[in-house]
Structure 1
Protein backbone atom coordinates (compact mmCIF):
# COMPACT_ATOMS: atom_id res chain seq x y z
CA UNK A 1 0.00 0.00 0.00
CA UNK A 2 1.50 3.32 -1.09
CA UNK A 3 1.94 6.20 1.33
CA UNK A 4 0.27 9.48 0.27
CA UNK A 5 2.76 12.23 -0.49
CA UNK A 6 2.83 15.20 1.84
CA UNK A 7 1.33 18.37 0.38
CA UNK A 8 3.66 21.14 -0.75
CA UNK A 9 3.18 24.37 1.17
CA UNK A 10 2.62 27.46 -0.98
CA UNK A 11 3.26 31.07 0.05
CA UNK A 12 2.12 33.92 -2.15
CA UNK A 13 3.92 37.27 -2.29
CA UNK A 14 1.30 39.80 -3.30
CA UNK A 15 -2.43 39.69 -2.68
CA UNK A 16 -3.88 41.71 -5.52
CA UNK A 17 -6.15 40.28 -8.21
CA UNK A 18 -3.76 37.48 -9.18
CA UNK A 19 -2.53 36.65 -5.69
CA UNK A 20 -6.07 36.49 -4.35
CA UNK A 21 -7.22 34.27 -7.22
CA UNK A 22 -4.31 31.88 -6.62
CA UNK A 23 -4.85 31.75 -2.87
CA UNK A 24 -8.59 31.21 -3.25
CA UNK A 25 -8.10 28.34 -5.69
CA UNK A 26 -5.59 26.58 -3.44
CA UNK A 27 -7.82 27.14 -0.41
CA UNK A 28 -10.74 25.63 -2.33
CA UNK A 29 -8.65 22.51 -2.82
CA UNK A 30 -5.85 21.40 -5.16
CA UNK A 31 -4.60 17.93 -4.33
CA UNK A 32 -0.97 18.06 -3.19
CA UNK A 33 -0.94 21.79 -2.42
CA UNK A 34 -1.57 23.64 0.84
CA UNK A 35 -1.75 27.40 1.28
CA UNK A 36 0.76 28.42 3.97
CA UNK A 37 0.88 32.23 3.97
CA UNK A 38 0.38 35.35 1.92
CA UNK A 39 1.94 38.78 1.96
CA UNK A 40 0.27 42.16 1.43
CA UNK A 41 0.95 45.82 2.17
CA UNK A 42 -2.38 46.23 3.95
CA UNK A 43 -2.59 43.39 6.47
CA UNK A 44 -6.09 44.24 7.70
CA UNK A 45 -7.45 44.42 4.16
CA UNK A 46 -5.81 41.10 3.26
CA UNK A 47 -7.25 39.40 6.32
CA UNK A 48 -10.69 40.74 5.39
CA UNK A 49 -10.33 39.36 1.85
CA UNK A 50 -9.68 35.93 3.36
CA UNK A 51 -12.90 36.04 5.36
CA UNK A 52 -14.53 33.43 3.12
CA UNK A 53 -11.55 31.09 3.05
CA UNK A 54 -11.95 27.64 4.56
CA UNK A 55 -8.48 27.93 6.11
CA UNK A 56 -7.27 31.54 6.48
CA UNK A 57 -3.47 31.83 6.64
CA UNK A 58 -1.04 34.33 8.20
CA UNK A 59 -0.18 37.58 6.44
CA UNK A 60 3.62 37.76 6.67
CA UNK A 61 6.33 40.18 5.52
CA UNK A 62 7.70 39.32 2.08
CA UNK A 63 11.05 38.20 3.48
CA UNK A 64 9.43 35.63 5.79
CA UNK A 65 7.46 33.70 3.18
CA UNK A 66 10.33 31.33 2.37
CA UNK A 67 10.49 30.23 6.00
CA UNK A 68 7.04 28.66 5.95
CA UNK A 69 6.73 27.27 2.42
CA UNK A 70 8.13 24.84 -0.14
CA UNK A 71 6.93 27.00 -3.05
CA UNK A 72 7.01 30.80 -3.11
CA UNK A 73 4.93 32.54 -5.78
CA UNK A 74 5.69 36.17 -6.70
CA UNK A 75 2.84 38.31 -7.99
CA UNK A 76 3.79 41.72 -6.65
CA UNK A 77 5.06 45.06 -8.03
CA UNK A 78 8.53 44.79 -9.58
CA UNK A 79 9.94 47.15 -6.93
CA UNK A 80 9.70 44.40 -4.29
CA UNK A 81 10.67 41.48 -6.54
CA UNK A 82 14.03 40.79 -4.88
CA UNK A 83 12.50 40.85 -1.40
CA UNK A 84 10.57 37.75 -2.43
CA UNK A 85 13.01 36.09 -4.82
CA UNK A 86 16.27 36.20 -2.89
CA UNK A 87 15.06 34.70 0.42
CA UNK A 88 13.17 31.98 -1.46
CA UNK A 89 16.17 30.94 -3.52
CA UNK A 90 18.65 31.20 -0.64
CA UNK A 91 16.42 28.78 1.26
CA UNK A 92 16.40 26.34 -1.66
CA UNK A 93 12.69 26.78 -2.40
CA UNK A 94 10.80 26.50 -5.65
CA UNK A 95 10.36 30.10 -6.79
CA UNK A 96 7.52 30.85 -9.23
CA UNK A 97 7.81 34.43 -10.58
CA UNK A 98 5.03 36.15 -12.47
CA UNK A 99 7.14 39.30 -12.98
CA UNK A 100 9.30 37.26 -15.34
CA UNK A 101 10.97 40.31 -16.84
CA UNK A 102 12.78 40.84 -13.55
CA UNK A 103 14.79 37.67 -14.21
CA UNK A 104 16.43 39.53 -17.10
CA UNK A 105 17.28 42.46 -14.85
CA UNK A 106 18.56 40.40 -11.89
CA UNK A 107 20.74 37.75 -13.51
CA UNK A 108 22.34 36.72 -10.20
CA UNK A 109 19.20 34.79 -9.24
CA UNK A 110 19.92 31.75 -11.41
CA UNK A 111 23.41 31.20 -9.90
CA UNK A 112 21.87 31.76 -6.46
CA UNK A 113 19.38 28.97 -7.14
CA UNK A 114 22.14 26.66 -8.39
CA UNK A 115 24.16 27.21 -5.20
CA UNK A 116 21.26 26.55 -2.83
CA UNK A 117 19.44 23.81 -4.72
CA UNK A 118 16.47 26.08 -5.36
CA UNK A 119 14.48 26.12 -8.58
CA UNK A 120 13.02 28.92 -10.70
CA UNK A 121 9.84 27.75 -12.43
CA UNK A 122 8.33 30.22 -14.92
CA UNK A 123 4.63 29.77 -15.75
CA UNK A 124 3.59 29.87 -19.38
CA UNK A 125 1.47 32.92 -18.60
CA UNK A 126 -0.04 34.65 -21.61
CA UNK A 127 2.27 32.93 -24.10
CA UNK A 128 0.67 30.38 -26.37
CA UNK A 129 3.09 27.78 -27.70
CA UNK A 130 5.93 28.18 -25.20
CA UNK A 131 6.49 24.42 -25.35
CA UNK A 132 7.10 24.67 -29.11
CA UNK A 133 9.72 27.38 -28.57
CA UNK A 134 11.46 25.30 -25.89
CA UNK A 135 11.48 22.28 -28.20
CA UNK A 136 12.87 24.30 -31.11
CA UNK A 137 15.62 25.64 -28.82
CA UNK A 138 16.95 22.08 -28.45
CA UNK A 139 17.93 22.52 -32.09
CA UNK A 140 18.87 25.82 -33.71
CA UNK A 141 16.64 28.90 -33.72
CA UNK A 142 17.54 31.58 -36.23
CA UNK A 143 15.19 34.33 -35.09
CA UNK A 144 12.34 35.13 -32.70
CA UNK A 145 10.24 38.27 -33.10
CA UNK A 146 7.33 39.35 -30.95
CA UNK A 147 4.88 42.16 -31.68
CA UNK A 148 2.70 43.26 -28.77
CA UNK A 149 -0.33 45.53 -29.13
CA UNK A 150 -2.06 46.92 -26.05
CA UNK A 151 -4.73 49.53 -25.33
CA UNK A 152 -2.93 52.79 -24.47
CA UNK A 153 -4.11 52.74 -20.84
CA UNK A 154 -2.40 49.39 -20.40
CA UNK A 155 0.97 51.05 -21.10
CA UNK A 156 0.52 54.24 -19.11
CA UNK A 157 3.31 55.00 -16.65
CA UNK A 158 5.88 52.67 -18.22
CA UNK A 159 9.41 53.95 -17.37
CA UNK A 160 10.47 53.90 -21.05
CA UNK A 161 7.59 56.20 -22.01
CA UNK A 162 8.28 58.56 -19.14
CA UNK A 163 12.04 58.72 -19.78
CA UNK A 164 11.56 59.38 -23.49
CA UNK A 165 8.67 61.83 -23.15
CA UNK A 166 6.27 59.62 -25.12
CA UNK A 167 2.65 60.62 -24.52
CA UNK A 168 -0.30 58.36 -25.32
CA UNK A 169 -2.94 60.92 -24.40
CA UNK A 170 -5.63 61.35 -27.04
CA UNK A 171 -4.11 58.65 -29.26
CA UNK A 172 -6.47 57.83 -32.15
CA UNK A 173 -4.29 55.47 -34.17
CA UNK A 174 -1.74 52.75 -33.49
CA UNK A 175 1.67 54.05 -32.38
CA UNK A 176 4.88 52.02 -32.11
CA UNK A 177 6.43 52.98 -28.78
CA UNK A 178 9.30 50.48 -28.60
CA UNK A 179 11.46 48.44 -30.99
CA UNK A 180 14.43 46.59 -29.52
CA UNK A 181 15.56 43.57 -27.56
CA UNK A 182 13.49 41.71 -24.98
CA UNK A 183 16.09 42.67 -22.36
CA UNK A 184 15.68 46.40 -23.01
CA UNK A 185 11.91 45.94 -23.18
CA UNK A 186 11.90 44.31 -19.73
CA UNK A 187 13.75 47.32 -18.30
CA UNK A 188 11.53 49.89 -19.97
CA UNK A 189 8.18 48.17 -19.50
CA UNK A 190 8.49 46.10 -16.29
CA UNK A 191 4.72 45.65 -15.92
CA UNK A 192 4.02 44.89 -19.56
CA UNK A 193 6.46 42.48 -21.19
CA UNK A 194 6.64 39.42 -18.96
CA UNK A 195 5.46 37.44 -21.97
CA UNK A 196 8.48 38.59 -23.98
CA UNK A 197 10.81 37.74 -21.10
CA UNK A 198 9.41 34.21 -20.85
CA UNK A 199 9.72 33.83 -24.62
CA UNK A 200 13.36 34.90 -24.57
CA UNK A 201 14.25 32.55 -21.71
CA UNK A 202 12.60 29.63 -23.52
CA UNK A 203 14.31 30.41 -26.81
CA UNK A 204 17.42 32.31 -27.92
CA UNK A 205 17.88 34.67 -25.01
CA UNK A 206 16.86 38.25 -24.18
CA UNK A 207 19.42 39.98 -26.40
CA UNK A 208 18.54 38.12 -29.63
CA UNK A 209 14.78 38.08 -29.11
CA UNK A 210 13.28 41.09 -30.88
CA UNK A 211 10.32 42.98 -29.44
CA UNK A 212 7.97 45.63 -30.78
CA UNK A 213 5.36 47.30 -28.55
CA UNK A 214 2.44 49.21 -30.02
CA UNK A 215 -0.11 51.36 -28.21
CA UNK A 216 -3.27 50.73 -30.20
CA UNK A 217 -6.61 52.37 -29.32
CA UNK A 218 -8.36 49.97 -31.71
CA UNK A 219 -7.64 46.88 -29.57
CA UNK A 220 -9.47 45.94 -26.40
CA UNK A 221 -7.29 42.95 -25.57
CA UNK A 222 -3.55 42.50 -24.98
CA UNK A 223 -2.44 40.99 -28.28
CA UNK A 224 0.80 39.14 -28.94
CA UNK A 225 2.06 37.82 -32.29
CA UNK A 226 5.24 35.74 -32.30
CA UNK A 227 7.22 34.51 -35.30
CA UNK A 228 9.88 31.83 -34.89
CA UNK A 229 12.32 30.65 -37.56
CA UNK A 230 14.21 27.46 -36.61
CA UNK A 231 15.93 24.52 -38.26
CA UNK A 232 13.14 22.24 -37.02
CA UNK A 233 10.09 24.38 -37.76
CA UNK A 234 8.76 27.76 -38.78
CA UNK A 235 5.74 28.86 -36.80
CA UNK A 236 3.61 31.87 -35.93
CA UNK A 237 1.74 32.24 -32.66
CA UNK A 238 -1.03 34.72 -31.98
CA UNK A 239 -3.03 35.28 -28.83
CA UNK A 240 -5.46 37.93 -27.56
CA UNK A 241 -5.70 38.08 -23.77
CA UNK A 242 -8.65 39.57 -21.92
CA UNK A 243 -7.32 42.16 -19.40
CA UNK A 244 -8.40 41.91 -15.78
CA UNK A 245 -10.87 44.51 -14.56
CA UNK A 246 -8.55 45.48 -11.70
CA UNK A 247 -5.38 45.91 -13.78
CA UNK A 248 -5.42 46.45 -17.58
CA UNK A 249 -1.71 45.61 -17.73
CA UNK A 250 -2.45 41.98 -16.77
CA UNK A 251 -4.48 39.35 -18.63
CA UNK A 252 -7.00 37.10 -16.92
CA UNK A 253 -5.11 34.06 -18.18
CA UNK A 254 -2.07 34.96 -16.04
CA UNK A 255 -3.63 33.74 -12.78
CA UNK A 256 -4.98 30.62 -14.49
CA UNK A 257 -1.52 29.87 -15.89
CA UNK A 258 0.02 30.15 -12.43
CA UNK A 259 -2.60 27.76 -11.05
CA UNK A 260 -1.85 25.28 -13.84
CA UNK A 261 1.87 25.65 -13.15
CA UNK A 262 1.43 24.86 -9.46
CA UNK A 263 -0.85 21.94 -10.24
CA UNK A 264 1.77 20.57 -12.62
CA UNK A 265 4.34 20.47 -9.81
CA UNK A 266 2.30 17.87 -7.89
CA UNK A 267 0.36 15.98 -10.57
CA UNK A 268 1.05 12.31 -11.21
CA UNK A 269 0.52 12.86 -14.93
CA UNK A 270 1.62 16.08 -16.56
CA UNK A 271 0.95 17.07 -20.17
CA UNK A 272 3.46 19.39 -21.84
CA UNK A 273 7.20 19.73 -21.50
Structure 2
Protein backbone atom coordinates (compact mmCIF):
# COMPACT_ATOMS: atom_id res chain seq x y z
CA UNK A 1 0.00 0.00 0.00
CA UNK A 2 1.62 3.22 -1.12
CA UNK A 3 1.54 6.51 0.72
CA UNK A 4 -1.85 8.14 0.32
CA UNK A 5 -3.47 4.96 -0.97
CA UNK A 6 -6.63 3.89 0.87
CA UNK A 7 -6.45 0.94 3.24
CA UNK A 8 -8.04 -2.01 1.44
CA UNK A 9 -10.34 -3.72 3.93
CA UNK A 10 -11.81 -7.21 3.66
CA UNK A 11 -14.72 -8.27 5.87
CA UNK A 12 -15.01 -11.94 6.83
CA UNK A 13 -18.53 -12.65 8.01
CA UNK A 14 -21.74 -10.84 7.11
CA UNK A 15 -23.76 -11.12 10.28
CA UNK A 16 -24.96 -8.10 12.26
CA UNK A 17 -21.43 -6.77 12.83
CA UNK A 18 -20.00 -7.58 9.42
CA UNK A 19 -22.88 -5.97 7.52
CA UNK A 20 -22.68 -2.83 9.67
CA UNK A 21 -18.96 -2.53 8.84
CA UNK A 22 -19.66 -3.10 5.14
CA UNK A 23 -22.32 -0.38 5.12
CA UNK A 24 -19.98 2.06 6.87
CA UNK A 25 -17.18 1.37 4.38
CA UNK A 26 -19.55 1.79 1.46
CA UNK A 27 -20.90 5.04 2.93
CA UNK A 28 -17.31 6.30 3.11
CA UNK A 29 -14.65 5.91 5.80
CA UNK A 30 -11.74 8.29 5.13
CA UNK A 31 -8.62 6.37 4.23
CA UNK A 32 -10.42 3.02 3.84
CA UNK A 33 -12.18 1.15 1.06
CA UNK A 34 -14.09 -2.14 0.95
CA UNK A 35 -11.99 -4.61 -1.07
CA UNK A 36 -13.68 -8.00 -0.61
CA UNK A 37 -15.99 -9.96 1.67
CA UNK A 38 -16.57 -13.55 2.68
CA UNK A 39 -19.52 -15.36 4.19
CA UNK A 40 -20.78 -18.87 4.74
CA UNK A 41 -23.21 -18.61 1.80
CA UNK A 42 -21.33 -16.82 -0.99
CA UNK A 43 -24.37 -16.53 -3.24
CA UNK A 44 -26.55 -15.01 -0.53
CA UNK A 45 -23.72 -12.64 0.36
CA UNK A 46 -23.55 -11.30 -3.18
CA UNK A 47 -27.28 -10.58 -3.08
CA UNK A 48 -26.92 -8.58 0.15
CA UNK A 49 -24.10 -6.31 -0.99
CA UNK A 50 -24.85 -2.78 -2.20
CA UNK A 51 -22.54 -3.17 -5.22
CA UNK A 52 -20.44 -5.76 -7.00
CA UNK A 53 -17.70 -6.52 -4.46
CA UNK A 54 -15.57 -9.68 -4.73
CA UNK A 55 -17.15 -12.41 -2.55
CA UNK A 56 -14.64 -15.16 -1.83
CA UNK A 57 -13.85 -18.00 0.57
CA UNK A 58 -11.91 -16.73 3.59
CA UNK A 59 -8.70 -18.37 2.34
CA UNK A 60 -8.75 -16.21 -0.80
CA UNK A 61 -9.22 -12.75 0.75
CA UNK A 62 -5.59 -11.87 1.50
CA UNK A 63 -4.31 -10.95 -1.99
CA UNK A 64 -7.06 -8.33 -2.36
CA UNK A 65 -6.74 -6.53 0.98
CA UNK A 66 -4.31 -4.93 3.42
CA UNK A 67 -6.42 -5.79 6.47
CA UNK A 68 -9.27 -8.14 7.31
CA UNK A 69 -12.06 -7.63 9.83
CA UNK A 70 -12.91 -10.99 11.40
CA UNK A 71 -16.63 -11.00 12.18
CA UNK A 72 -17.24 -14.71 11.75
CA UNK A 73 -17.72 -17.76 14.01
CA UNK A 74 -14.74 -18.15 16.34
CA UNK A 75 -13.71 -21.47 14.81
CA UNK A 76 -12.83 -19.70 11.56
CA UNK A 77 -10.32 -17.29 13.12
CA UNK A 78 -7.15 -19.24 12.14
CA UNK A 79 -8.28 -19.63 8.52
CA UNK A 80 -9.11 -15.93 8.29
CA UNK A 81 -6.13 -14.50 10.16
CA UNK A 82 -3.18 -16.70 9.20
CA UNK A 83 -2.88 -15.65 5.52
CA UNK A 84 -2.91 -11.95 6.44
CA UNK A 85 -0.45 -12.31 9.31
CA UNK A 86 1.87 -14.45 7.18
CA UNK A 87 1.94 -11.60 4.67
CA UNK A 88 2.74 -9.04 7.37
CA UNK A 89 -0.75 -7.53 7.22
CA UNK A 90 -3.39 -6.62 9.78
CA UNK A 91 -6.32 -8.49 11.34
CA UNK A 92 -9.09 -6.89 13.39
CA UNK A 93 -10.30 -9.69 15.67
CA UNK A 94 -13.76 -9.77 17.23
CA UNK A 95 -13.53 -13.40 18.39
CA UNK A 96 -11.01 -12.46 21.06
CA UNK A 97 -11.72 -15.63 23.01
CA UNK A 98 -10.42 -17.69 20.10
CA UNK A 99 -7.02 -16.01 20.44
CA UNK A 100 -6.55 -17.89 23.71
CA UNK A 101 -6.86 -21.19 21.82
CA UNK A 102 -4.77 -19.99 18.87
CA UNK A 103 -1.80 -18.21 20.41
CA UNK A 104 0.29 -19.33 17.43
CA UNK A 105 -1.38 -16.46 15.57
CA UNK A 106 0.29 -13.97 17.91
CA UNK A 107 3.64 -15.66 17.33
CA UNK A 108 3.00 -15.54 13.58
CA UNK A 109 2.26 -11.81 13.73
CA UNK A 110 5.45 -11.22 15.67
CA UNK A 111 7.53 -13.27 13.25
CA UNK A 112 6.13 -11.82 10.01
CA UNK A 113 5.48 -8.23 11.07
CA UNK A 114 1.69 -8.50 11.04
CA UNK A 115 -0.60 -7.01 13.64
CA UNK A 116 -3.67 -8.26 15.50
CA UNK A 117 -6.03 -5.53 16.71
CA UNK A 118 -8.78 -6.29 19.22
CA UNK A 119 -11.20 -3.33 19.18
CA UNK A 120 -12.73 -1.94 22.35
CA UNK A 121 -16.03 -3.58 21.50
CA UNK A 122 -18.69 -3.50 24.18
CA UNK A 123 -16.39 -2.22 26.95
CA UNK A 124 -15.43 1.21 28.17
CA UNK A 125 -12.23 2.07 29.93
CA UNK A 126 -9.80 -0.25 28.17
CA UNK A 127 -7.44 2.71 27.74
CA UNK A 128 -7.43 3.18 31.52
CA UNK A 129 -6.73 -0.52 32.10
CA UNK A 130 -3.93 -0.46 29.52
CA UNK A 131 -2.38 2.54 31.26
CA UNK A 132 -2.68 0.91 34.68
CA UNK A 133 -1.01 -2.22 33.31
CA UNK A 134 2.14 -0.19 32.67
CA UNK A 135 2.37 -0.13 36.46
CA UNK A 136 1.01 -2.86 38.75
CA UNK A 137 -2.60 -4.03 38.64
CA UNK A 138 -3.62 -5.86 41.80
CA UNK A 139 -7.01 -7.14 40.69
CA UNK A 140 -9.59 -6.93 37.91
CA UNK A 141 -13.14 -8.12 38.47
CA UNK A 142 -15.88 -8.17 35.87
CA UNK A 143 -19.57 -8.97 36.32
CA UNK A 144 -21.65 -9.50 33.17
CA UNK A 145 -25.44 -9.61 33.27
CA UNK A 146 -27.32 -10.60 30.13
CA UNK A 147 -30.91 -11.18 29.05
CA UNK A 148 -31.80 -14.87 29.03
CA UNK A 149 -31.98 -15.03 25.23
CA UNK A 150 -28.45 -13.62 25.00
CA UNK A 151 -27.04 -16.65 26.87
CA UNK A 152 -29.39 -19.40 25.69
CA UNK A 153 -27.59 -22.28 24.04
CA UNK A 154 -24.13 -21.53 25.45
CA UNK A 155 -22.06 -24.77 25.61
CA UNK A 156 -21.27 -24.26 29.31
CA UNK A 157 -24.96 -24.19 30.19
CA UNK A 158 -25.72 -27.28 28.15
CA UNK A 159 -22.76 -29.27 29.49
CA UNK A 160 -23.61 -28.41 33.09
CA UNK A 161 -27.36 -28.86 32.77
CA UNK A 162 -28.10 -25.24 33.70
CA UNK A 163 -31.64 -24.27 32.66
CA UNK A 164 -32.23 -20.54 32.28
CA UNK A 165 -35.39 -20.45 30.17
CA UNK A 166 -38.28 -19.53 32.43
CA UNK A 167 -36.22 -18.31 35.40
CA UNK A 168 -38.00 -15.64 37.45
CA UNK A 169 -35.01 -13.90 39.02
CA UNK A 170 -31.32 -13.31 38.27
CA UNK A 171 -29.23 -16.48 38.25
CA UNK A 172 -25.44 -16.63 38.41
CA UNK A 173 -24.48 -19.19 35.79
CA UNK A 174 -20.68 -18.88 35.89
CA UNK A 175 -17.85 -17.83 38.17
CA UNK A 176 -14.28 -18.24 37.00
CA UNK A 177 -11.80 -16.74 34.55
CA UNK A 178 -12.05 -15.38 31.00
CA UNK A 179 -10.00 -18.32 29.76
CA UNK A 180 -12.64 -20.72 31.08
CA UNK A 181 -15.49 -18.54 29.84
CA UNK A 182 -14.01 -18.36 26.33
CA UNK A 183 -14.57 -22.11 26.04
CA UNK A 184 -17.99 -22.27 27.66
CA UNK A 185 -19.44 -19.06 26.20
CA UNK A 186 -17.66 -18.60 22.83
CA UNK A 187 -20.29 -16.23 21.41
CA UNK A 188 -20.80 -14.15 24.54
CA UNK A 189 -17.65 -13.21 26.42
CA UNK A 190 -15.13 -11.81 23.96
CA UNK A 191 -15.39 -8.60 26.01
CA UNK A 192 -14.02 -10.37 29.08
CA UNK A 193 -11.11 -11.80 27.09
CA UNK A 194 -10.28 -8.36 25.67
CA UNK A 195 -10.29 -6.94 29.20
CA UNK A 196 -7.99 -9.70 30.42
CA UNK A 197 -5.54 -9.32 27.53
CA UNK A 198 -5.09 -5.61 28.15
CA UNK A 199 -4.86 -6.06 31.94
CA UNK A 200 -3.54 -8.93 34.08
CA UNK A 201 -4.24 -11.87 31.81
CA UNK A 202 -7.00 -14.43 31.26
CA UNK A 203 -6.11 -16.52 34.31
CA UNK A 204 -6.01 -13.77 36.96
CA UNK A 205 -9.03 -11.73 35.87
CA UNK A 206 -12.15 -12.63 37.89
CA UNK A 207 -15.42 -13.06 36.02
CA UNK A 208 -19.06 -13.67 36.91
CA UNK A 209 -21.87 -14.21 34.40
CA UNK A 210 -25.53 -13.74 35.33
CA UNK A 211 -28.69 -14.48 33.38
CA UNK A 212 -31.30 -11.87 34.25
CA UNK A 213 -34.90 -12.21 32.95
CA UNK A 214 -35.61 -8.55 33.74
CA UNK A 215 -32.91 -7.21 31.43
CA UNK A 216 -33.26 -6.10 27.82
CA UNK A 217 -29.63 -4.97 27.60
CA UNK A 218 -26.20 -6.49 28.19
CA UNK A 219 -24.68 -4.98 31.34
CA UNK A 220 -20.96 -5.12 32.13
CA UNK A 221 -19.43 -3.85 35.36
CA UNK A 222 -15.68 -3.73 35.97
CA UNK A 223 -13.64 -2.94 39.07
CA UNK A 224 -9.87 -2.42 38.88
CA UNK A 225 -7.38 -1.94 41.72
CA UNK A 226 -3.84 -0.88 40.85
CA UNK A 227 -0.87 1.05 42.16
CA UNK A 228 -1.83 4.06 40.05
CA UNK A 229 -5.62 4.20 40.35
CA UNK A 230 -8.67 2.33 41.55
CA UNK A 231 -11.67 2.65 39.26
CA UNK A 232 -15.02 1.14 38.41
CA UNK A 233 -16.89 1.16 35.11
CA UNK A 234 -20.34 0.09 34.02
CA UNK A 235 -22.01 0.01 30.61
CA UNK A 236 -25.41 -1.11 29.32
CA UNK A 237 -25.32 -2.22 25.70
CA UNK A 238 -28.32 -2.51 23.43
CA UNK A 239 -28.27 -5.88 21.63
CA UNK A 240 -27.90 -5.92 17.85
CA UNK A 241 -29.99 -8.10 15.56
CA UNK A 242 -27.95 -10.92 17.11
CA UNK A 243 -28.92 -10.98 20.83
CA UNK A 244 -25.47 -12.32 21.75
CA UNK A 245 -23.75 -9.20 20.36
CA UNK A 246 -24.11 -5.60 21.49
CA UNK A 247 -24.94 -2.93 18.92
CA UNK A 248 -21.90 -0.92 19.98
CA UNK A 249 -19.55 -3.75 18.91
CA UNK A 250 -19.91 -2.93 15.22
CA UNK A 251 -19.55 0.77 15.95
CA UNK A 252 -16.31 0.03 17.78
CA UNK A 253 -14.90 -1.69 14.69
CA UNK A 254 -15.92 1.26 12.53
CA UNK A 255 -14.26 3.67 14.98
CA UNK A 256 -11.12 1.50 14.92
CA UNK A 257 -10.96 1.66 11.11
CA UNK A 258 -11.62 5.39 11.10
CA UNK A 259 -8.74 5.94 13.53
CA UNK A 260 -6.33 4.01 11.31
CA UNK A 261 -6.58 6.63 8.58
CA UNK A 262 -7.11 9.70 10.73
CA UNK A 263 -4.66 12.63 10.96
CA UNK A 264 -5.56 12.95 14.67
CA UNK A 265 -5.82 9.93 16.95
CA UNK A 266 -7.25 10.37 20.45
CA UNK A 267 -6.77 7.63 23.02
CA UNK A 268 -4.10 4.99 23.43
Alignment of 1:214-253 (within 5 A): 214-244=210-240, 246-253=241-248
Q: CA deviation at 1:4?
A: 6.4
Match of 1:63 among 56, 59, 62: 59
Distance 2:19 2:186 in 1: 21
CA distance in structure 1 between the aligned counterparts of 2:7 and 2:213, rounded to whole angstroms: 44
Match of 1:6 in 2: 5
Shift of 1:103: 1.1
Residues 1:231 and 1:94: Cα distance change in structure 2 (over 3 Å): same
The residue matched to 1:101 in structure 2 has which SS?
helix
Confirm or deny: 8 A CA contact 2:75 2:98 kept in the other structure.
no
Q: CA deviation at 1:114?
A: 0.5
Counterpart of 1:269? 264
1:62 Cα shift?
A: 0.6
Structure 1: which 5+ runs fail to align? none
Tell me if structure 1 keeps the 8 A contact 2:78–2:105: no
For residues 255 and 182 of structure 1, what CA distance do their matches in structure 2 show?
A: 22
Q: Distance in 2 between matches of 1:110 and 1:57?
A: 30
Q: Is the 8 A contact 2:122 2:237 kept in 1?
A: yes
Q: CA RMSD in A?
A: 1.1
Alignment partner, residue 18 of structure 1: 17
Unaligned runs of 5+ in 2: none
Query: d(CA) in 2 for partners of 1:85 and 1:179?
Result: 31
| Mapped partners of 1:79, 1:233: distance in 2 | 37
Aligned to 2:154: 158
Q: Figure out how many residues of one structure are paired with residues of the other and give that number.
A: 267
Instruction: Check if 1:260 corresponds to 2:259.
Output: no
Matched with 1:130 is: 126
Query: Cα offset for 1:68?
Result: 1.1
Q: Are 2:96 and 2:190, in contact at CA under 8 Å, matched by a contact in 1? A: yes
Moved over 6 A (4+): none
